[in-house]
Homo-oligomer: A and B are copies of this chain.
Amino acid sequence: MSLLIVGTMAFDALETPFGKVDRIIGGSATYAAWSASNFTKNIRQVSIVGGDFPQEEMDALSARGVNLDGVEVIKDGKSFFWSGRYHLDMNTRDSLITDLNVLAQFDPTLPESYRDSQFVMLGNLAPAVQIKVLNQMTHKPKFVVMDTMNFWMSVALDQLKEAIGMVDMLLVNDSEARELTGEYSLVKAAKKIQAMGPKYLIIKKGEHGALLFHGDKIFSAPALPLEDVFDPTGAGDTFAGGFIGYLAYTGDTCFDNMKAAVIVGSALASFCVEKFGPERMKEITVADIDKRIDQFVELINFDIKKQP
């Protein structure tokens, strides 16, 4: 089924305990599209880039089946640039530079052909932009997932809450869930977020995996324990892309299928962190993904002998 992805396409400079890169391809929509395109070839990308964004990166995404009609190119502008340094635990990082560049003027008008998309992934962006995208849909999507970050809680809380109220699922990390609700317990935080509108919630916990909430149901997915997390940049967006890509592939939004989609997203994210940037995402095959999913089955499968 068709999948609309809205987010950034950008350059990143990164420092991790394993090394440093000065200017590599990044952005939430880049990672999400690479990830989701393992499952569906009907992807509609919405983003904005400057004239500096490499044509070969666009071509590589096109070749994956990603439609780029919705990617605005500002020829004399510069692409969004983010620079960050990771701490040893790889779950926390400092932003060093955030140059919005063309992202400051991102005011997307969806191509007509995008407006009936059945699945929608709203990457982390100003809530006003997320709302504007949803208001342009001519057909109610089957399922809308929205990512965000704590920055918008500080500067645009009302709009953020409005956006949250319009989507089927919110996707945040544990500290964002706590900040948004004022609840330390993630179970309590999940209840409060569901009361804001979304019937589904995923709380990402980095190396500790992810929790999926729906009403009183909870699903817990582990992260694959890795010897080295080389670069966590994009892991959350890769998770999101794998999650919604699998939903779009199966066309099934029941809770049981959503559990499977969380595992698929976790498997994709476990590849992403193995190399800097989206490099690893460009190499992997369906066979690699299937093998990784089998590792998740091994990782959590058990059989109890109950007492008679």
A264 at the interface (CB under 8 A from B): yes
Given contacts A88-B184, A208-B205, A208-B208, contact A260 B220 (CB under 8 A): no
| Residue ranges of A at the interface with B (Cβ–Cβ < 8 Å) | 39, 88-89, 184-188, 205, 208-209, 211, 217-222, 225-229, 249-250, 256-257, 259-260, 262-264, 286, 290, 293, 298-307
Q: How far is the CA of A129 from the CA of B227 in the complex (A)?
A: 34
Are A185 and B226 in contact, with the CB atoms below 8 A? yes
In the complex, what residues of B have CB within 8 A of residue A264's CB?
A: 304
- Structural contact, A249 and B185, CB atoms closer than 8 A: no
A-B contact pairs, 27 of them (CB 8 A): A39-B307, A88-B184, A89-B184, A185-B226, A185-B227, A185-B229, A187-B225, A187-B226, A208-B208, A209-B220, A219-B298, A220-B222, A221-B300, A222-B222, A249-B307, A250-B305, A256-B302, A256-B303, A259-B302, A260-B302, A260-B303, A260-B304, A262-B302, A264-B304, A286-B307, A290-B306, A290-B307
CA distance A188 to B17 in the complex (A): 15
Known: A263-B304, A264-B304, A300-B300. A227 touches B184 (CB 8 A): no
List of 4 A-B pairs having minimum Cβ-Cβ separation, nearest first: A220-B222, A208-B208, A259-B302, A260-B304
User: For the complex, what is the distance from the CA of A286 to the CA of B211, rounded to whole Å?
Assistant: 28
Bound-state Cα–Cα, A209 to B307, Å? 24
A225 CA to B189 CA, complexed, in Å: 12
Chain B residue nearest in CB terms to A295? B218
Bound together, the chains give a CA A21 to CA B34 distance in angstroms of: 54
Q: Which residues of the partner chain B approach A88 to less than 8 Å between Cβ atoms?
A: 184
Residues of B within 8 A of A302 (CB): 219, 221, 256, 259-260, 262-263
Q: Which residue of B lies closest to A39 (CB)?
A: B307
Contacts of A218 in B (CB 8 A): 225, 299
Q: For residue A39, which residues in chain B have a CB less than 8 angstroms away from its CB?
A: 307
